[in-house]
Structure 1
Amino acid sequence: MTATLANSVTTKPQKWGKSLTVHSGRVAGGFELRSRLSEQARSVWAKHDRDGEGWLPLWCHMQDSAAVAGLLWDCWVPERVRAMVGGVLPEGEVDGRRLVVWLAGVHDIGKATPAFACQVDALADRMRDAGLEMPYRAGLGADRRLAPHGLAGQLLLQEWMKERHGWPGRATGQFAVVVGGHHGVPPEQVALLELDGRGELVRTPGGSEGVWRRVQGELLDACAVEFGAQGRLGQWRGVKLPQTVQVVLSGLVIVADWIASNPDLFPYFPLEAGFDGGRRVAAAWRGLDLPGPWRPRVPQEAAPALFASRFELPPGAVVRPVQAAAVEMARAMPGAGLLIVEAPMGEGKTEAALAAAEVLAARAGAGGVFFALPTMATSNAMFPRLLDWLDRLPADGNGKLSVLLAHSKAALNREAAGLRAGSRQRVAAVDVDGAERLPKAGEEGAGPAELVAHQWLAGRKKGLLSSFVVGTIDQLLFAGLKARHLVLRHLAVAGKVVVIDEAHAYDTYMNAYLDRVLGWLGAYGVPVVVLSATLPAVRRRELAQAYAGVGGGEGRFAAVEQAREYPLLTAVCAGHDPVLGRPAASGRGCEVRLERLGDGLEVLADRLEAELEGGGCALVVRNTVDRVLEAAAVLRERFGAGAVTVAHARFIDTDRAENDRRLLELFGPDGSERPGRHIVVASQVAEQSLDVDFDLLVSDVAPVDLLLQRVGRLHRHQRPGRPVRLREARCLLTGVDWSAPVPAPVRGSEAVYGRHALLRSLAVLHPHLEEGRGLSLPGDISALVQAAYGEGPVGPAQWAPVLQEAQLVHEQLQDKKARAADVFRIREAGKDGRSLMGWLAGGTGDADDTRAGRAQVRDSPESLEVIVVEESEDGSLATVGWAGEGRGGLPLPTGSVPSPRAARAAAACGLRLPPRLAKPYIVDRVIAELERFYFESWQVKENPWLAGQLILPIRPGCPTLLAGFRLMYTRENGLEVSNADA
């Protein structure tokens, strides 16, 4: 049964003024608002059709919004969110529903003011004819900006609550701020005070002031009676709303408003005779067809049966101890909480997280899962795994489930695009505040789907409201950023289980945002699962305390940091001491011998030639793209072009995806196409989320946790037939001047990771390098990570002065990053009863998943992204010729709009330019030169793929000159950049 209106479906029998039920496609009850109002109150308008004569009276929009809010509460809001709201109100969830419906009903009361009503002459004249005098728009002039209708609505509602119902002024703000902030930003106190002193914007002075006051009160009185709040306001007066509840109420009102503001669903007046509010809402809800939340049940199977039913396990596979332990701990936790899973690479942490999420969601009443990963590439890899898991979940009465891949290039992902094309939604998505409208899906596939990419949820501000979301960590970190419509991000996560993968991969700046978000998730009671193979103990404690909302001096968390077992589970629940789980190791593992290798390119080539004499596959990981390309050039000369593959982040998107696919095909678990002898030269893209297996590893020195991730690609699978010389797992460490008194990493590595982290890594690895002691995996993982990130001395005594100097520089940099992150970070969840007013003061505006948006939560170098197209001798443009699946060589006319197929194919060829081209002293010149390829015919709404993008034309085999640099792009090497005069 889908969570939509259908014959014989009845919503939960809760009260909305009169009972609201759904039967035979009709919503009945609660639609008598118009009959309670005078002609003057009925004349107030709320919306108008800018392209025609249609309009919507305020009473009708109030009624529509309230009805939608009630349906959202009954059919869409997860149980966890309903329980949180109801938990602070005298009559629980029944009161919660009344409150949501009432606030949605009155959210636009600020439109019953001269400052708003004067905007459309014809509609203002109707109101004047009814006795509501007001100046013409020009008469109020720029002062109108002091009275946006959200702020005016908050002022009117607070006044009404005090004067009509005896509320103390301070108590009104925590409720009325929902009205004041329904356009995305809660007001600041100074704005409210300023408007309070400008009464002419709220009521026209003179004889008409009393009429305005009466109409405003009449509308609020009628809403209180009609929407069930009249008899409850006295009880609510003593309630202190937590800020978490204020946030989700604000989010629900915004969602209800946006749906009720969609003219495709709720047509404007004039309407046909026999207007019926119930049928109007029922038809709109049927047309929206919004999927309801996931409603899981706690699985009763033992771990082996559970994993066998939820995942496609290879023959002979057994459930690993850490997987079974994660499920059991999720079952045993006293309530919703944080579960940290630390286990070696390849132990099935992803499956453990999903299985635990199912248990935690069922116990907490969560309605979905948000899976956050470090990069777009890892998100893309995770998305089909999530879909497979969803397909294997028991139905348990769930209808359609909404699913989203959340990052800026998700539309180019095959699975995500296929899911959207297969969904049958046809309603336009409308963001009434941002004038965002997505085209109807018209001719896309009409087949029903159990998993749908619901089109109304496709807007950039609504996407995370889907039940199941896979996205980059940025999407979660945005929940800690002062940004417009932040309440929607919080509403989205408040009803889900959140999974955070690769928790070790984030720096101080990102962790500042992550910790703040964890604090809010803990306040919401959101279950969170954190995954890492190489998590420092101090970071483990920070995560636990951030979720619990306690400071660094809390003694009961000392054991969390002191634990050194591995694998390790940590559970944190509000009001309880942390619990540690110590599952047995799976028995998988290997010994890895570390060796030093000089940094010369010929030294590298000679060593590989010797090691691969009898065959074998080697992975060479370099810390910068320039080092990747330099090494690949030398190795191709020695071994031949066909024996060397390059992988790094400076390929266009389609090529990078193909590179990953080919690496998995050649070096993945199957191994059927594994070459006899081959070398892959890669940057950090080989560190994570690629299940590849090599016989030999050569790596630049890196922070020890990341180096261990690279080592995890060495002898990853049991593979018979490895060359005799390579049957012992070995990692050759390079990128270091080993002859210096203290080993000195190359400059490029220091620029990426900092000297401190690299020296600490070398220090803890020194015994393994000096004494030839094997590196035991997974046995040594935790010990190495904790030593490298701990505060104790490491390395030989003569290294101490250099290490101390590097540490001082490192600490100063971390302090700087922490201060920088705090500028736009939201404050911690406030005390009960503290209004959200000023919550986003000094914010960033919108938080978008764009280069600029991601820079707000990532401390990474600025870069420019371009779309690469191919330029012919005559200057005409086309999509790059080697793009597969019929996407190559499609014409891109510059004097007209390219075809949708060609534009989409071109957009799939995005490329991030290196940071050196975005430095402040050159970025303006780079952009100016790229804007030579700005074509007016492409800047239209019919061309969303290319409008506003920077275009980089290339000619195969020929360099492109850009701002004094020579750019060469090839399918084999990606983008190579050099000085034009070199």
Structure 2
Amino acid sequence: MEDSAAVAGLLWDRWLSANVRALVSGVLPDGEADGRRLAVWLAGVHDIGKATPAFACQVDQLADVMRGLGLEMRTRRQFGPDRRLAPHGLAGQVLLGQWLEERRGWTGRQSGQFAVVVGGHHGVPPDHGQLKALQDRPHLLRTPGPSRGLWQRVQEELLEACAEEFGVAGRLGVWRAVKLPQPVQVLLSALVIVADWIASNPDLFPYFPQAAGRTSAERVAAAWRGLDLPEPWRAQLPPEDVGELFGGRFGLPPGAVVRPVQEAAVRLARGMSAPGLLVIEAPMGEGKTEAALAAAEVFAARSGAGGVFFALPTMATGNAMFPRLLDWLKRLPAGGGTRISALLAHSKAALNEAYADLMRGSAQRITAVAVDEEERVWRPREDRRAAPAEVVAHAWLRGRKKAMLSSFVVGTVDQLLFAGLKSRHLALRHLAVAGKVVVIDEAHAYDTYMSAYLDRVLSWLGAYRVPVVVLSATLPAGRRRQMAEAYAGAEGGAAGEGFDVVGRSDAYPLLTAVAPGGTAVVESPRAAARGVEVCLERLDDDFGVLAGRLAVELAGGGCALVVRNTVRRVLETARVLRERFGEDAVTVAHSCFIDVDRAANDAALLARFGPPGKSEGRPAGPHIVVASQVAEQSLDVDFDLLVSDLCPVDLLLQRMGRLHRHTRGTGQAERPARLRAARCLVTGVDWTGQVPLPVRGSVAVYGAHGLLRSAAVLLEHLDGRPVRLPQDISPLVQAAYGDGPVGPAGWAEAMGQALRRHEEHRKDQAERAGVFRLDAVGRPGRALIGWVAAGAGDADDTRTGRAQVRDSRESLEVVVVQRRPDGSLATVDWIAPGKAGLELPMDRPPSPRAARTAASCGLRLPSQFSSAEVMDRAIAELEELYVPAWQVKESHWLAGQLILALDADCQTRLAGFRLRYSPLDGLEVTRA
């Protein structure tokens, strides 16, 4: 009790961010002093449920000592299965509630909102059924008969002692009138969990403290120094001069002009009545990432947030963002802290070189230190000097359930959506995001299923008063309003006229600011990027026609990007184009490459087709990149000509962002003469009928409704009027995603059928998302009883975990190795020298280098393996290659992984399919 309470006090003083402390303290009569008392007291009493017969019977020799002192109890066997109805967290909640009611005069409603923190300290607050089952079996809490009163005396003596020791005895009468908001209950629960985990660590707190001859204060001080948790970021309000701010944080040269969108974002972040939601919609290349980080710094300084979480749609985009975040952190004044913690949060983070370097440089041993060891100097918050901080990946904060507690986190959006999923230890995820500024990138990339989770998370973030920055190049107005209303606590459209302006505006670029609980403000700065006019043209969906057209267009040289909606079409297209243009003239990019090849492909694309001055080796002669949707986002690449399968209009506009993205000479004079005007050829459609007929693969990916509305709003552009970027972005997106009729009268029947299927699909998505989705924020004073009841268990960044917050079938992830002719295994033979062909022995753990190299060759199998029948068969076949020697701690890179062994020709069979892998083309799957 003493250790947990002391740790909670240190966490409050030195680790919790100011905004979390303020939220807890703001509902208590004595402010921060009461907030600290409450946190310390709840941590101190959290294990009171162990002072019960149901718990105390577990160790015979200890139970006998208690029996000898009059505390009678049954044996563990005599209790039978009933004992499982009294886990000590639940028992503690009941005991604390009874004590508050019987000894302090509280009502059950008043006590429940405090006692539930004790009940949920193992990750799941009890539900009403569990409470009733325990209350119906009082013998689990106190043995009936003569010793019942003694059990109650012991329990009450401990609770009275805690109330006195931790300074709340005189406050409990005042707190009776407090109605704890549910967000405060969650944060207190999380703080108690963290304090419990630290105090329960025997390396920090040895079991026999008296053997060390330390006082309690010395014991706690030694443990805290051994843990050495980095303190939260304490942001300072940055310079008012936006040019100075961007120059200092992003290395802009003197005299460089800050873009209007960036300037407006910082101004709105400074001017809002309180830090809240800021939605930034702007074209590709406007510097939205830098605007978000600058706004985050302002928000953090104003709110007391202790870090930033940057959520991105994929692991690849997260990997690309992490070094950029580290660069930004190195330029920040530390706000007085000596170190700040940073984390890359996805399942393959350890394979990211920037994060791996950070971990290697942050090695530490978590253990209590000698009493007389020099203590790290700690000064009050106001006595801090602005100096750059050391960025570390703290060892204690790397665990699966603790990782998000780091101050600065880059991760996939799944990590944010998990905060809306009923799951164990959800309170820790809420504490993690409640103490940060949250940045959500590529917000347009989320479907109805994911949006249902995102909106619920936004509603909780608004309740926590967490500043949020949302970034998008193309956001439908209706979706923008849904997010604003969710954050303001008006899910379902109850916000009224104050949000009409958000749903009506089609200005672009557009910034929308929403203070917590307040109305929305919109502002439309001008775009800084030069305008581009893109001429659209229909192209028959025939590989021969495509090859012939590209031959004409690239006759004078140039680089073309062909974007297909499925990997299968990517590979078929590449095969035909190589026959026409040669192997060296065609590059393939899609998601079905092993991780190390995927990263190399992205780097190669940036190196060859990136911005002028930053890229080298741009092909002079004809070159064609055939890609899937991986080319849509987060790659600053520039092509002379674009060919795209028809897709939803916002995604087509994203693809157009890779066309003439940069100026190459005056009037694009450095591009081939035929390609100096930007053109996009739209294919993947049978254009000959009365109604366009998209190919089956595109319909499977996007649905007919989105494709037909995209074609409808693009008609006038396909018939001659160029698309003006950025002016036409918002009108096209709002028309395509609006409710109004679009397209010729002859399309009405087909579009009506597609709409009905689309609405049925959205309804189904919303209903399925609601199964495990967290409830909305309850009224103040309502206890968190049953908060995550009937939940999804543990939420983690695995294929199963991601499927819970994304509307996608589970996918299989494998580690790809090669089988040599003699039957032995090795890392694949085409990757970088020094990593290729490393031995993977089956009778012992591989070398760390070989194991890490193998793990870097992860591959997510395509949709052919996602049906339940095929997946089960594939898993059964993959598990035949089970290597016991790899399932040990020393081989953590490969333990638990499914291994896919290719032969010397990079082929194998799996679950009725033939798999062929090529470093040039990735994985190709055909029926065996």
Partner of 2:484: 544
- Local SS of the residue matching 1:844: coil
Q: Secondary structure at the match of 1:692?
A: coil
Aligned to 1:373: 312
Q: Which residue of 2 aligns with 1:874?
A: 822
Deviation sequence 1:782-823 (CA, Å, 0-9, x none):
000000000111111211111111111101110010011001
- Which of 578, 581, 586 is the aligned partner of 1:644? 586
Q: Is the 8 A contact 1:869 1:951 kept in 2?
A: yes
Indicate the residue corresponding to 1:488 in structure 2. Answer: 428
Q: What TM-score results when the alignment is normalised by the length of structure 2? A: 0.96
Is the deviation greater in 567-576 or in 376-385?
567-576
Asked whether the equivalents of residues 956 and 969 of structure 1 are also in contact (C-alpha less than 8 Å), the reply is no
Greater shift, 128-137 or 560-569, is seen at 128-137
Structure 2 unaligned segments of length 5 or more: list them.
Answer: 369-387
Partner of residue 752 from structure 1, selected from 701, 716, 739: 701
Deviations 1:820-873 (A, max 9, x none): 100100111110000000011110100010000000000013211111001111
For 2:738, the equivalent position in structure 1 comes to 790
For the pair 1:699 / 2:638, whether they are aligned, the reply is no
Q: 1:68 corresponds to which residue?
A: 7
Q: CA–CA distance in 2 between the matches of 1:517 and 1:709?
A: 26
Contact 2:334-2:389 within 8 A present in 1 as well: no
Partner SS state of residue 942, structure 1: helix
1:887 is the counterpart of 2:835: yes
Correspondence 1:635 to 2:586: no
Report the alpha carbon displacement of residue 411 of structure 1 after superposing the two structures with TM: 0.9
Distance between the aligned counterparts of 2:866 and 2:61, measured in 1?
51
CA-to-aligned-CA distance 1:413-439 (integer Å, 9 cap, x gap): 11111101101432179xxxxxxxxxx
Aligned residue in 1 for 2:330: 391
Q: Distance in 1 between matches of 2:561 and 2:776?
A: 45
Work out the CA distance in 1 between the residues paired with 2:627 and 2:257. Answer: 33
In structure 2, the partner of 1:850 is 798
In 1: Cα distance, 2:675 partner to 2:615 partner: 16
CA distance in 2, matches of 1:126, 1:600: 85
Q: Distance in 2 between matches of 1:324 and 1:293?
A: 27
AA aligned to 2:283 is P
Indicate conservation of the 8 Å contact 2:233/2:334, yes or no.
Answer: no
Establish whether residue 425 from structure 1 lines up as the match of residue 364 from structure 2: yes
Match of 1:673 among 613, 617, 622: 617
Aligned residue runs from structure 1 range 62-461, under 5 A = 62-269=1-208, 271-272=210-211, 274-313=213-252, 317-427=256-366, 450-461=390-401
Q: What one-letter code is carried by the residue in structure 1 that aligns with 2:865?
A: L
**In structure 2, distance between residues paired with 1:967 and 1:540:** 43
1:734-773 to structure 2, matched below 5 A, reads 734-770=683-719, 772-773=720-721
Distance 1:119 1:224, change over 3 A: same
Which whole-Å CA distance do the structure 1 matches of 2:737 and 2:257 have between them?
34
Distance in structure 2 (CA, Å) of the matches to 1:797 and 1:861: 37
**3-state SS of 2:211 partner:** coil
Distance change >3 Å, CA 617–CA 361, structure 1 → 2: same
Deviation at 1:204?
A: 1.7
Q: Contact 2:330 / 2:389 at 8 angstroms: preserved in 1?
A: no
How far 1:449 moved relative to its partner? 7.8
> What is the letter of the counterpart of residue 456 of structure 2?
R
1:622 is aligned to 2:622: no
Displacement of 1:316: 6.9
**Deviation by residue 1:63-86 (Cα, 9 ceiling, x = unmatched):** 000000000000011110111011
Deviation (angstroms), 1:122: 2.6
**Is the contact between residue 428 and residue 456 of structure 1 (CA under 8 Å) also seen in structure 2?**
no
Q: 1:558 aligns with which of 500, 503, 509?
A: 500
2:748 pairs with 1:800: yes
CA distance in 1, matches of 2:838, 2:210: 48
Residue 475, structure 1, aligned to residue 415, structure 2: yes
Is the contact made by 1:616 and 1:723 (CA closer than 8 Å) also made in structure 2? yes
Alignment pair present for 1:814 and 2:758: no
- One of 576, 588, 592 as aligned partner of 2:534: 592
- Aligned equivalents of 1:475, 1:804: Cα separation in 2: 37
- Range with greater deviation from structure 2 (566-575 or 234-243): 566-575
Instruction: Report the Cα distance in structure 2 between the residues aligned to 1:410 and 1:463, rounded to whole angstroms.
Output: 11
Q: For 1:894-939, what per-residue CA distance to the aligned partner results, in whole angstroms no more than 9, with x for missing partners?
A: 1222222211111111101111112123222111111110112222
Residues 26-66 of structure 1 deviation map (CA, whole Å, 9 limit, x = unaligned): xxxxxxxxxxxxxxxxxxxxxxxxxxxxxxxxxxxx00000
**Aligned equivalent of 2:444:** 504
Q: Relative to structure 1, is the Cα distance of residues 838 and 974 closer, same or farther in structure 2, using a 3 angstrom cutoff?
A: same
Q: Which runs of 5+ in 1 are unaligned?
A: 1-61, 430-447
Q: Secondary structure at the match of 2:511?
A: strand
In the aligned structure 2, how far is the partner of 1:596 from the partner of 1:242?
57
Match of 1:604 among 546, 551, 562: 546
AA paired with 1:737? Answer: D
* TM superposition shift of 1:582: 1.4
> Is this contact kept in 2: 1:422–1:449, CA < 8 A?
no
Alignment match of 2:455 (pick from 515, 518, 523): 515
What do residues 107-149 of structure 1 show as CA deviations (whole Å, max 9, x unaligned)? 0000111111111223223323333222221111211100000
1:909 and 2:857 aligned: yes
- In the alignment, residue 887 of structure 1 is paired with which amino acid? K
Residue 483 of structure 1, CA deviation: 0.2
Q: CA deviation at 1:302?
A: 1.2
Which stretch of structure 1 is more off in the superposition, 745-754 or 198-207? 198-207
Residue in structure 2 matched with residue 441 of structure 1 by the alignment: none
Distance verdict in 2 for CA 1:232–1:607, change over 3 Å: same
Deviates more, 1:308-317 or 1:513-522: 308-317
**Per the alignment, do residues 610 and 975 of structure 1 end up closer, same or farther by CA in structure 2, a change over 3 Å counting?**
same
CA shift at 1:393, angstroms?
0.8
1:832 and 1:944 map into 2 onto residues whose CA distance is 45
Quote the Cα distance in structure 1 between the aligned partners of 2:866 and 2:660.
39
Q: CA RMSD in A?
A: 1.4
Q: Which moved more, 1:796-805 or 1:331-340?
A: 796-805
Partner Cα distance (1:872, 1:122) in 2:
58
**Distance 1:273-1:732 versus aligned 2 partners, 3 A rule:** closer
The farther-off stretch of 195-204 and 220-229 is 195-204
Query: Which residue is 1:42 aligned to?
Result: none
Query: 1:580 pairs with 522, 546, 550, which one?
Result: 522
